[in-house]
Amino acid sequence: RIQILFEGWTTDFTSPTSDPSNCELGDMGLYRQKKKTTVIACGDEMPEVKKQKKRKAFKIKQKVFRASDPLLSVFMWGVHHSVSQLTHTTIPPLLLPSDFKAFSKVSIENYNFNSDNMVAKFKFKEYCPLVFRDLRERFGVKEQVFNQSLSALEPYYESDADQAREKGHKHFFSKDNRFVVKLFHSEEVEFMHSILNDYHAYVVERGGKVLLPQYLAMYRITVSGVEHYMIIMRNVLASNGLRIHKQYHLKGSTVDREATDKDKSKTNPRLKDLDFLKDDIKIHIGGDKKKEVLEILDSDVKFLSQLKIMDYSILLGIHNIAQGQEEDVEEDQSSSDDLLEGEDGNQRDGNDAQPMDIDDYQDDEDEVYDGYTFSSSDDHLNKEMYCFGVIGILTKYNATKRAAHTAKTMKHGPGAEISTVRPETYAKRFFDFMEKAIV
């Protein structure tokens, strides 16, 4: 008997002669061009072949869901847990009234386990999981993208976490800027529950084409005995990673609607209505797009008016294409200099948006970028991209707002364009302001 050793496996066969060199490879069913064979020995006894030890590949230990802020660590864990649970859940073809009252709740308590990454004790509650999953689908947000953006890398505040808390910051962002997470109060959660059925029905009716906030999930997280309510939305100003060169917060009101000198001294400040008018800014998207956008906006504000909602606003970001190209050239040059100095020029600050390629600007005129982004018309000299959408729709015209309306009317006079007015008046003034701004 002869044993043939192949690279990684062996086989036995009986040779027609005692000399292996007389054997035809065809008789053995072997192919020289595919497998190299080596004769070890002939005869009845085989020498011992020492087995090589298999070396295990070195695996880098990854610390999952670790963040500088315990709340963010639990948030990342919760998003991953929620999406994972939904992958094992049967998705119904039609949502039922009970789905708008449903919730999923888990309480975790660890003892001397995973203490480097997570707090020892926390609770995570998700509201209406199937409803928000359906909304994500209708807004074109894939589950994998949603999960990766919010749980793979630590989200960030606009400043240090402790400073953010001290300054009362009420939101943070995913590392890739796709999503913004707003922290709010239990009263707003209750109000969101009260309008969720109407909001979902409206999004379905409009086929997802709205300028309203795109609500994607709502959670309650309890860390160290403190409850934090949060809702996840698509970031209006992160469309396609555009750098925003100017931004405005517009309500259609002119009373006390100018940015302070302190705000204007900041890098890329968020300006207001009077600044918008003084700068003589227009949104140049052309006739066809203007008609499309105003039709969507008119429908949206009428919907909000029916729900007695007011005090919402338009968040507008303007990207100048020529300026963006110059910044890209400077950045490429800076990256080349860093490489020459031995630094990694591909590393970016997580807060910086990724620029679009120049070819991405030249898309079909009818294309609407994730519902919030529009390109300037061909006849506009300064080529620009506009990102805008409605934000802040969780304020109802209640007794507090009625009192504020009365106080401001007495202070500024009955004809003043104050921001606190009845929902119907607010909607009409808001739409008229934007109709003049869009050309």
- Please report, for residues 16, 98, 124, 224, 227, the alpha-carbon distance to residue 103 in angstroms, rounded to integers and kept in the order given: 75, 10, 10, 22, 16
Check 69, 176, 182, 275 and give the catalytic one: 182
- Diameter of the chain by CA atoms? 115
- 364 catalytic, yes or no? no
229 CB-near residues (< 8 Å, 6+ apart) = 183, 184, 185, 186, 188, 189, 218, 219, 220
Quote the CA–CA distance of 28 and 40 in Å, as a whole number.
16
- 311 catalytic, yes or no? yes
Centre a 10 Å sphere on the Cβ of residue 123 and count the other Cβ atoms it contains: 17
CA proximity to 314, closest of 211, 216, 429, 384: 211
Quote the CA–CA distance of 154 and 79 in Å, as a whole number.
12
- With contact defined as beta carbons under 8 Å apart, do 203 and 210 qualify? yes
Check 134, 275, 311, 370 and give the catalytic one: 311
Which positions are catalytic? 182, 311
